[in-house]
């Protein structure tokens, strides 16, 4: 097929390869290697580059499609470099509805193909004694206050958690190299791979990331970190974290409350589980393991229609 997949950053490549596998293709990370007329991209920077090269673009969202009240070209609702987009692949209705305001191309809801491999895994009993927790932090993105990292605010509690928990350190790819030395200093094992977190952790702790809702595929407990600069009076309607689907977990406002929140998430998991499952329906859209199939069918159909 006259199609290439292009992604330069590792977290975008993970999403890209899930769909590329459906075509038997590999993801390319160098612009000079792109030879096809149609290119599937997963981030605004890559979209912008392929647009300048005059390619016909299939723009697939990475993650769960979070966007904010601030208009920004990286998020849904922007018109920047969208003229050559012939197909938009969205994870959910919230995201697709926003894109319909500005895009004229077909928009298909496909879910999150990267998670297909976890769809048939059964929810397992959480280790009630010394559970394994994974803690992750967003990078210091300046789009708005809620995209900033909470690492510095919660850092001091990390070594204290080792007493009662096994800990896996994690972070957004754009911050992990900065915080990895701190994990090492505290004797905390860390991973750059979210799939390791999905398979090994009993509880996921995070401030703001699509991984919060990707974690929902496991139906295991979660804790949400609320640093003081997260505005409680602001609702980002395009971001379920603030605050429509923040009820999936205990909300931790202070470092000294984190251990209590972890135990709350574990011991009261049956209370939070229906809320996690509702969030799955609204945000992941599909948990049947067929998201890649939907993406492949949508791409084939729209390329055929183009021609």
Residues 3-19 have pLDDT tens digits of 999 999 999 999 999 99
For the entire predicted model, the pTM comes to 0.94
Q: What pLDDT shows up at residue 122?
A: 61
Judged against a pLDDT cut of 70, whether residue 124 lies above it is answered with: no
Residue burial 246-279, b: 16+ Cβ < 10 Å; e: rest = bebbbbbeebebbbebbbbbbeebeebeeebeeb
**What top-level class would CATH report for the domain 132-284?**
alpha beta
* C-alpha distances in Å from residue 31, one per residue of 37, 52, 61, 170: 13, 11, 19, 29
Domain ranges of the chain: 3-117+288-306, 132-284
DSSP letter, residue 54: T
Q: Do 62 and 88 meet the contact criterion of CB atoms below 8 Å apart?
A: no
Under the banding of pLDDT at 50, 70 and 90, the label for residue 125 is low
Residues 156-196 have pLDDT tens digits of 999 999 999 999 999 999 999 999 999 999 999 999 999 99
Sign of the dihedral defined by the CA atoms of residues 284, 173, 244, 256, in that order: positive
Q: How many CA atoms lie within 13 A of 205 on its CB side?
A: 34
What's the length of the chain?
307
Q: Is 166 helix (H, G, I), strand (E, B) or coil?
A: strand
Residues 35-48 have pLDDT tens digits of 999 999 999 999 99
**What top-level class would CATH report for the domain 3-117+288-306?**
alpha beta
Residue 265's nearest CA partner among 214, 193, 215 is 215
Count Cβ atoms below 10 Å from residue 199 Cβ, excluding itself.
11
Residue 147's nearest CA partner among 263, 229, 265, 73 is 229
């Amino acid at each position: 097929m006259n199609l290439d997949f292009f992604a330069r950053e590792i977290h975008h490549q993970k999403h890209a390869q899930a769909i590329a596998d459906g075509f038997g293709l590999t993801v390319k990370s160098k612009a000079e290697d792109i030879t096809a007329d149609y290119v599937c991209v997963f981030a605004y920077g890559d979209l912008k580059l392929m647009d300048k090269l005059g390619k016909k673009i299939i723009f697939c969202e990475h993650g769960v499609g979070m966007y904010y009240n601030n208009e920004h070209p990286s998020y849904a609702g922007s018109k920047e470099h969208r003229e050559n987009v012939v197909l938009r692949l969205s994870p959910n209705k919230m995201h697709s509805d926003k894109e319909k305001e500005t895009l004229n191309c077909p928009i298909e809801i496909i879910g999150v193909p990267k998670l297909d491999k976890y769809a048939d895994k059964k929810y397992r009993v959480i280790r009630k004694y010394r559970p394994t927790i994974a803690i992750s932090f967003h990078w210091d993105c300046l789009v708005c206050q809620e995209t900033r990292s909470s690492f510095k605010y919660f850092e001091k509690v990390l070594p204290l958690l080792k007493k009662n928990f096994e800990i896996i350190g994690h972070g957004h790819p754009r911050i992990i190299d900065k915080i990895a030395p701190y994990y090492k200093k505290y004797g905390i094992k860390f991973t750059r791979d979210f799939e390791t977190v999905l398979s090994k952790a009993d509880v996921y702790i995070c401030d703001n990331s699509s991984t919060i809702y990707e974690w929902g595929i496991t139906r295991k407990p979660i804790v949400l970190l609320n640093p003081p600069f997260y505005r409680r009076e602001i609702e980002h309607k395009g971001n379920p974290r603030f605050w429509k689907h923040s009820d999936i977990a205990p909300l931790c406002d202070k470092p000294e409350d984190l251990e209590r929140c972890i135990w709350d998430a574990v011991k009261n998991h049956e209370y939070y589980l229906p809320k996690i499952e509702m969030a799955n329906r609204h945000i992941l859209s599909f948990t049947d393991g067929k998201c890649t199939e939907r993406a492949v069918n949508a791409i084939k159909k729209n390329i055929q229609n183009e021609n």
